[in-house]
Amino acid sequence: MLLILTLLLITVTSWGAKAISTPIQVQQADGTQLTIFLHGDEYFNWVTTADEVLLVQVGKGYYIASVAKDGTLTATSQLAHEANIRQRTEQDLVASQDKSLFIRNVEGNKNKAKTRSIPIGTPTPPYFPHTGSPKALVLLVEFQDVKFTTSDPIATFKYYLNAQPGDPVPANNDINQSRLHGSVRQYFHEMSQGLFTPQFDVKGVFTMPETSVYYGKGHDDQHYQEMIANACAQADAAGVDFSQYDQNHDGLADLVYIIYAGYGASVSGDDNDLWPKSGAGSFGTYDGVKVARYGINNELNYRANYVPSGSPRYRINGIGLFCHEFSHTLGLPDFYPSNSAAQIDNQALEYWDLMDGGEYVDNGYTPTPYTPWEMEVMGWMNLTELSDAGNYSLQPFDEEHKAYKITSGIENNSEYLILQNIQNNGWWSKMLGKGMLVYRVDYQKGSINIGDYPNNTAGKPGLTIVPADGLLITSYRVYDPETGPTATKPYSREEYNNSHRGDPYPGTSNVTRIESVAVNGGTIKKPIYQITESTDGTISFNFLKEPTPTGIQDIKATGKPKDDKIYTLDGRYVGTNLSGLPKGIYIYQHKKYVVK
Task: Give residue-wise pLDDT tens across range 269-310.
Answer: 888 889 999 999 999 999 999 999 999 999 999 998 888 888
Residue 310, pLDDT score: 86
**Strands 404-407 vs 384-385: parallel, antiparallel or unpaired:** parallel
Say yes or no to pLDDT of 591 above 60. Answer: no
Q: How far apart are CA 556 and CA 518, in angstroms?
A: 7
Of 376, 383, 382, 375, give the one whose Cα is nearest residue 405.
383
Span 89-105, average pLDDT: 87
Any idea what the Cα angle at residue 569 is, between residues 105 and 86, rounded to 5°?
A: 65
Give pLDDT tens digits for 522-563: 999 999 999 999 999 999 999 998 876 554 444 444 444 455
Give pLDDT tens digits for 326-376: 999 999 999 999 999 999 999 999 999 999 999 999 999 999 999 999 999
- Residue 26 in contact with residue 202, Cβ under 8 Å? no
User: Phi/psi zone of residue 469: left (φ > 0), alpha (ψ -120 to 50 degrees), beta?
Assistant: alpha
Any idea what the Cα angle at residue 106 is, between residues 104 and 107, rounded to 5°?
A: 65
Contacts of 80-87 with C-beta under 8 Å, sequence gap 24+, read 80/28, 80/34, 80/49, 80/53, 80/55, 81/28, 81/32, 81/34, 82/32, 82/33, 82/34, 82/35, 82/49, 82/50, 82/482, 82/483, 83/49, 83/50, 83/51, 83/53, 83/483, 85/32
**Annotated domain spans of the chain:** 24-115, 135-330, 340-543, 566-595
At 566, is the pLDDT very low, low, confident or very high (cuts 50, 70, 90)? low
Q: From the CB of residue 23, how many other CB atoms can be counted at a distance below 10 Å?
A: 19
Residue 7, pLDDT score: 39
Q: How far apart are CA 542 and CA 550, in angstroms?
A: 13
Q: Which residue has the higher pLDDT, 311 or 570?
A: 311
- Residue 45 in contact with residue 95, Cβ under 8 Å? no
β-sheet bridge partners, residue 532: 540
Span 496-519, average pLDDT: 95
Span 149-158, average pLDDT: 96
Task: Describe the crossing of helices 153-162 and 184-191 by its angle, rounded to 10 degrees.
Answer: 10
Please tell me the total number of residues recorded for the chain in this structure. 596
Residues 6+ away with beta carbon under 8 Å from 338: 40, 41, 110, 453, 456
Q: If residue 327 lies in a helix (H) or strand (E), which one and from where to where?
A: helix 319-330
Q: Is 247 exposed, middle or buried (0-12, 13-18, 19+ CB in 10 A)?
A: middle
**Strands 404-407 vs 415-422: parallel, antiparallel or unpaired:** antiparallel
User: Which letter, b or e, does each residue of 186-212 get, where b requires 16 or more Cβ atoms within 10 Å of its Cβ?
Assistant: bbbbbbbeebbbbebebbbbbebeeeb
Is 0.75 surpassed by the pTM of this model? yes
Residue 568, pLDDT score: 59
Residue 572, pLDDT score: 54
User: What is the C-alpha end-to-end distance of the chain, expressed in Å?
Assistant: 73
Residue 409 CA to its chain's centroid (Å): 32
Contacts of 506-509 with C-beta under 8 Å, sequence gap 24+, read 506/435, 506/436, 506/468, 506/531, 506/532, 506/533, 507/433, 507/435, 507/468, 507/469, 508/433, 508/469, 509/468, 509/469
> For residues 283, 285, 290 and 294, what is the CA-based torsion angle, rounded to 10 degrees?
-30
User: Which letter, b or e, does each residue of 78-107 get, where b requires 16 or more Cβ atoms within 10 Å of its Cβ?
Assistant: bbbbbeeebeeebeebbeebeeebbeebbb
Q: From the CB of residue 31, how many other CB atoms can be counted at a distance below 10 Å?
A: 6
Q: How far is CA 551 from CA 37, 447, 533, in A?
A: 45, 43, 18
Residue 285, CB half-sphere, CA atoms under 13 Å: how many?
5
β-sheet bridge partners, residue 65: 75
Q: If residue 212 lies in a helix (H) or strand (E), which one and from where to where?
A: helix 212-216
Say yes or no to pLDDT of 410 above 80. Answer: no
Q: How far apart are CA 32 and CA 26, in angstroms?
A: 9
Of 95, 78, 80, give the one whose Cα is nearest residue 32.
80
Residue 46, pLDDT score: 83
Per-residue DSSP letter, 480:
P
Residue 70, pLDDT score: 79
Q: From the CB of residue 551, how many other CB atoms can be counted at a distance below 10 Å?
A: 4
β-sheet bridge partners, residue 34: 26
β-sheet bridge partners, residue 351: none
> For residues 456, 458, 461 and 466, what is the CA-based torsion angle, rounded to 10 degrees?
140
Give pLDDT tens digits for 441-480: 999 888 899 989 999 999 999 999 999 999 999 999 999 8
Q: How far apart are CA 116 and CA 123, in angstroms?
A: 12
Q: How far apart are CA 270 and CA 105, in angstroms?
A: 21
SS3 (DSSP) at 184: helix
Question: What is the maximum alpha-carbon separation in the chain?
Answer: 80
Q: How far apart are CA 42 and CA 277, in angstroms?
A: 6
At 267, is the pLDDT very low, low, confident or very high (cuts 50, 70, 90)? confident
Q: How far apart are CA 72 and CA 106, in angstroms?
A: 9
Percent of the chain with pLDDT over 70: 84
Q: From the CB of residue 390, how many other CB atoms can be counted at a distance below 10 Å?
A: 11
Window from 23-27, 112-116, 251-255, 399-403 with minimum mean pLDDT: 112-116
User: No. of H helices and E strands in the chain?
Assistant: 12, 29
H-type alpha helices, 411-529: 493-501
Per DSSP (E only), the strands in 267-403 are 277-280, 285-286, 289-290, 293-298, 384-385, 390-394
